A and B are shown apart, each in its own frame.
Chain A
Amino acid sequence: MTELKLPPDMAELRPVLGEIIAQKQKEAPHFTILLSSKQGLRITIDNREERVVEGAPSAGTVLSAFDGQTIYERAIGGFRRDEIQKTANELVREANFSDYTSPEESPRKGGFATVMQIDPAELSAQEKLDRCRELHRRVKGRDPRIVNTQVIYIESGEYSVFASPHADLAQRLQRLNLFLVIIVAGENGQIQYDYKSKSGGAGWEVLDFTDEEIQQLIDNAIALLGAERIEPGEYQIIAAPGVSGTICHESFGHGVETDMFLKQRARAAYFIDRTVGSSLVNIVDDPSTAGGYGSYFFDDEGRMSTPTQIVENGIFKRGITDLYSATALSIPRSANGRRQDYSRKAYARMSNTYFEAGTSTLNEMLAQVDQGVYLDKWSSGMEDPQGWGIQVTCHYGHEIKGGRVTDRIFAPIGISGYVPDVLQSITAVGKEWWLEAGNCGKGHKETVPVSSGGPHLLLKARLG
């Protein structure tokens, strides 16, 4: 079990927060304080250069008071007691908060830390650099068409303390991501690349690449030099777990963030307890997933993490909430109130969002496809909760012919379609299941770490 060791300035402040809250509780019954510190490290190695750079850090305090209509917040850099006290005094004078009392909450107290076998905090920068160099070295000399190999290690650490009249919580979250990028050049100067990442809310133990994975990456990058653009049209497709996850994330992830319900931006609001996909479809958001890149013990509004069953056997059950939308809509809260950092407000956000596994093997699914496309790798996606349009872009996909994946490769491939049509078209769900790390925005901002995933899915969609 990894020990929670708060940074000294946060540890010093934590016992004081209860006092400040107690002072203000008469004027503002719903008064909370969040201390948030984020820091990181990025190591980049390529054939010509090495860099070790601090991840953009942020550290600050958020004081929140809610009058039942509007949340008033003061976000201040750092963790200075005198400034927090002064700001708390100012904040409670900003409006009349005394008439609003939030619903009864059970008391909660504790300190938590991401479980790790190899804690990056226990490794020196030199050791991390050496591990990255070793991965880089393993690619050398494998193919003359490789013009560069990049190893990118991203370490993100987060400490937070949440205090309210009911809560005294602290957590340390650790997220790691190791990318291997192979860049190749064709005879005409054409450049192509492929990449793979290992990641998790975990320690270095999850970052190993096998030789087979490295070789596959090189083979894919070289194959991409001969990639074709796909003829637009509707295809029978098999989505790899990462692609399944992105479809899930963009459709019944963003589409069920209940702040979007409040803003009349989500069509899903009208579909509670209604069929939205084939009976094989089960979708979950679970911030308590062990090792998930989007995992946490409590959210930025002090809610303890538990899973939310979003879609069950094709029927939409409930969305994921932040405090404000749950209050305004009078619906049960889930632990999904998340902030990019102390300088931003909390919204309803995903954590680890995925299709649950089914019963089919990949070979069984392939056998059902005479002519289609295997979508190997996603590169981006965008939500459309109101229009229920899907945009997922795949880095590449392979032709499926006669139940077999061929060497014919298409890149890039855009998936589009209407969410219920796409989910309704799912006719097989795979056994293999995994999550892939990503960064999720609300629109084009408010980035938070998440993971998305699932099993292989057999479905129909428009590709272009």
Chain B
Amino acid sequence: MLDQIVNSLKERKDLAGWTVRHIITRGAQVYAVPQQVEARRTVTGERYRIDVLRQTSGLDGNAAMGSGDATILPGGDISTSIEKAVLVASLVSNPVHTLPGPASIPDVQLIDTDLQSDSATVTMDAMDRIRTAASKNPDVGLTAAECFGETHTTHLVNSRGMDAEQEATEINIEFVLHSQRGETEVETFREMSARRVADLNIEDEISKRGRHTLDLFEATTAPSWQGPVVLRDDVLATFITSGILQTLGSAGSKYAKISPWEIGKSVFRSEVKGEPLTVWANRCIPFGTNSSRFDEEGVPAQRLPLVRENELVNFWASQRYADYLDFPATGAFGGVEIAPGTSPATALLAEPHAEIIQFSWFNPDTITGDFATEIRLGYLIQDGKRIPFRGGQLVGNYLDALANAHWSAETGFFGNYLGPHTIRLNDIKIAGLAG
């Protein structure tokens, strides 16, 4: 059917360009409640996504470009769908932009071969590992778990001669650990994503989260705190990848005048008191959850220097916005990579400090960078004690926080983030519930 669609598009003389993506998804899902499997599912899906460009004219009579799209299911009506996409493309008049041409596509590692060949068995195995690992801690029970394993195959063909395929696997798990003492109940909810099962470290994660769950019994109400706050591992990855670098570093945001960032200027609005920040938008991270060989337009993956020692060096740009702004087309953002710091992680843990273990949902304003987010579990570390607390909010601004931070020299890989595994935000506020 792909050939039929391509041939139909080739016959259209009124198009300035077109892209077709044939997308196939197959996977398995398993859901557990206490003592039993709640549901087992297999899922398949297949579709053809068409994007077309058509020359139009602007209000001033100058050449302009319109774009339209349509999705066809197997057996669907090709000519009607193409006509619909072309009609939509004729309605709008944007600056002229193009499609990516043929280019060398890097070989990015995206596949777990076991998951690719048998997602049902792999997801059941992952569920068994979760249940076995949880059963090792008699003080904590597993009350819910979900495992999703999927393989996505994409074949992209465009009018400029690009013809590329990629396949990627993905496993997503979540689990809930629960404990009860008298009338007091506590829980930890954790979700994890990876391209391959080996990156999930299920047993270690459940062991660690089991300890955190039990610490919740001892947790005090959150203190009011202004000072150093440490984030490590997955919670640091959550903080870093929360969307601000992606929004403000985007050519689309620059074009829409949402981003005040300028190439060659500091990305910070305040004086940098901590270590300099260097960031790559990296779609080549092996087994990165945001990695790909090529993106939705077909732009090949790259490791793009975004910020070098606090200064913006590039915007990431789709082909459309690259053409609008005369930037290089870099394609989708991918994962965040940050340069290692200079301090050993142990030095960043100097007392006193607070450490956040889990946010309720770190969801900053991606334009202003402001946040006020609830803390599910944290520790206050001072006077040789590590006291758990819960509730309260971490309050601040993402960019101001990074402008006064120290990063560990040691790095780690966390799916969509590659970089220092520890950060010390030197001066940030916890709006506490006590004190």
Contacts and interface: CB of A to CB of B under 8 A. Distances in A.
Interface in A236-285: 262-265, 267
Contacts of A94: 40
Contact of A57 (B42, B67, B71, B269): B71
B75 to A, nearest CB: 7
Given A232-B393, A328-B33, A391-B373, A50 B185 contact: no
Interface stretch (A96-104, A136-144, A287-295, A376-384): A376-384
B431 A345 contact: no
B46 interface: yes
Contacts of A15: none
A197 interface: no
Contacts of A147: 257
Contact of A389 (B94, B174, B391): B391
A411 B364 CA distance: 12
Interface string B24-64: 01000101011011111111111100000000000000000
B92 interface: yes
Interface string B210-250: 00000000000000100000000000000000000000000
Contacts of A445: 172
B395 A52 contact: no
A367 interface: no
Interface stretch (A65-73, A109-117, A297-305, A349-357): A65-73
A74 B42 contact: yes
A384 B176 CA distance: 12
A393 interface: yes
Interface in A321-363: 324, 328, 343, 345
Contact of A46 (B38, B45, B88, B256): B256
Contact of B372 (A77, A189, A264, A393): A393
A190 interface: yes
Contacts of A262: 33-34
Nearest to B85: A54
Contacts of A71: 38-40
Contacts of B33: 262-263, 328
Contact of A264 (B44, B67, B185): B185
A124 to B, nearest CB: 9
A389 to B, nearest CB: 6
Interface string B57-96: 0000000000111110111000000000001100111110
20 contacts: A57-B71, A59-B73, A69-B36, A70-B38, A76-B43, A77-B46, A80-B75, A148-B257, A183-B257, A232-B429, A264-B141, A324-B38, A343-B25, A387-B376, A393-B363, A412-B370, A444-B191, A464-B392, A464-B393, A464-B395
Interface of A: 46-54, 57-60, 69-78, 80, 94, 125-126, 129, 147-148, 150, 183, 185, 189-193, 229, 232, 262-265, 267, 324, 328, 343, 345, 379-380, 382, 384, 386-387, 389-391, 393, 395, 411-414, 416, 418, 443-445, 462, 464
| A-B residue pairs, 10 tightest by C-beta | A464-B431, A414-B372, A232-B431, A391-B374, A263-B144, A382-B361, A77-B45, A464-B393, A147-B257, A73-B41
